[in-house]
C-alpha cells in the first residue's frame, strides 16, 4: 500500500501544481472589442495582356528552331509600327515525334509572343495584323499595377478613417469615455473582374479571314481594403 501511494503522489502533485498554474494565469481583459471596417471601389481594367502562339513541324530540329525564331522575329518587326504596345517573346520549345515503331519521324515546336498595352485600339490593330501567322491563345484585361497601387494608397487612408469612426460608435454605444487601440491589420483584396469581355468571340473574330480589328472593352474590377483590429474600452 505504501509503495502504491508513493507512486500516486507525484501524479497528485502534478495535478495540484497544474491547477495552481492555471489559476495564476491572468484573465482575459474585459472591454475588448474585435471588429472590421471595409471599403471597396470599382476600377477600370486599364491594361490588356494577350498571348499569341505559332506551332510548326519539321523533320529537322535545327530547321524547326530557325522557323520558330523567324516567325517571332517577323512578329516583333511588325509590332514596331505600334510603339504604344509592349511586345516580348515568351516560351519556345520543341519535342520529338515518334511513329508506331518508336522511330523518330520529326519534330514539333511552339513559340509564344506576349503583348501588353494600355492602348486597346493599338493592341487590337496589332493583334489583327498578326492573325495570318499567329493564333490568339489568351486575352485578358486587368487593373495595371500603378493604378492599383495609387488606388490602394488612397483607399487605405479611407479604410483607417472608417475603422476609427466605427470604433467611436462602439465607444458611444457602450457609454465608455474613451478607447485604446490594441492591434490593427490592414489588407487588400482584388475580387477580380466584375465584367469579363467575351474573349472567345474576340478569338473567333481575330481568326476569321480579313477580320477587322476587334473592339476592345476592358470592363472593370473591384478592389477592396479591409481594416480589422481590437480596441480596449476605457470606462
Domains contained in the chain, CATH given: 29-46+144-194+220-235 (3.30.110), 47-142 (3.30.70.360)
φ/ψ (deg, to 5) at 217: -120, 115
Residue located via cell numbers 509503495: 3
Burial of 89 (0-12, 13-18, 19+ CB in 10 A): middle
Give ∠ CA 30-36-39 in degrees, rounded to 5: 160
Each of the 235 residues of the chain gets a pLDDT tens digit; together they read: 445 444 544 444 434 444 444 444 444 467 899 999 999 999 999 999 999 999 999 999 999 999 999 999 999 999 999 999 999 999 999 999 998 888 999 999 999 999 999 999 999 999 999 988 999 999 999 999 999 999 999 999 999 999 999 999 999 999 999 999 999 999 987 655 554 444 433 443 444 445 555 666 788 999 999 999 999 999 8
Cβ atoms of residues 91 and 150 within 8 Å: no
88, 146, 76: which is closest to 115 by C-alpha?
A: 88
Neighbours of 138 (CB within 10 A): 13
In sequence order, the β-bridge partners of residue 11 are: none
Q: Rounded distance, CA 39 to CA 37, Å? A: 7
Cite the DSSP H helix spans in 25-87.
61-79
Q: Rounded distance, CA 119 to CA 99, Å? A: 47
Burial of 160 (0-12, 13-18, 19+ CB in 10 A): middle
Which three cell numbers mark 22?
A: 492555471
End-to-end CA distance of the chain: 58
Between strands 135-142 and 178-193, the pairing is: unpaired
Amino acid at each position: 500500500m505504501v509503495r502504491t501511494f508513493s507512486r500516486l503522489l507525484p501524479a497528485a502533485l502534478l495535478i495540484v501544481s497544474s491547477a495552481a498554474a492555471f489559476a495564476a494565469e491572468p484573465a482575459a481583459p474585459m472591454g475588448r472589442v474585435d471588429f472590421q471596417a471595409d471599403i471597396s471601389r470599382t476600377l477600370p481594367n486599364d491594361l490588356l495582356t494577350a498571348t499569341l502562339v505559332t506551332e510548326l513541324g519539321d523533320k529537322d530540329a535545327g530547321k524547326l528552331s530557325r522557323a520558330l525564331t523567324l516567325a517571332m522575329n517577323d512578329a516583333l518587326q511588325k509590332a514596331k509600327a505600334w510603339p504604344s504596345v509592349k511586345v516580348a517573346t515568351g516560351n519556345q520549345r520543341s519535342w520529338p515525334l515518334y511513329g508506331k515503331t518508336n522511330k523518330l519521324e520529326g519534330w514539333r515546336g511552339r513559340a509564344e509572343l506576349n503583348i501588353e498595352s494600355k492602348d486597346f485600339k493599338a493592341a487590337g490593330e496589332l493583334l489583327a495584323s498578326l492573325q495570318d501567322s499567329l493564333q490568339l491563345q489568351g486575352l485578358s484585361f486587368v487593373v495595371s499595377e500603378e493604378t492599383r497601387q495609387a488606388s490602394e494608397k488612397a483607399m487605405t487612408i479611407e479604410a483607417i478613417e472608417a475603422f476609427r469612426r466605427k470604433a467611436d460608435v462602439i465607444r458611444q454605444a457602450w457609454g465608455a469615455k474613451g478607447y485604446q487601440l490594441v492591434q490593427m491589420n490592414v489588407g487588400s483584396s482584388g475580387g477580380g473582374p466584375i465584367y469579363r469581355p467575351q474573349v472567345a468571340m474576340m478569338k473567333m473574330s481575330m481568326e476569321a479571314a480579313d477580320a477587322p480589328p476587334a473592339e476592345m472593352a476592358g470592363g472593370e474590377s473591384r478592389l477592396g481594403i479591409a481594416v480589422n483590429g481590437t480596441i480596449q474600452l476605457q470606462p
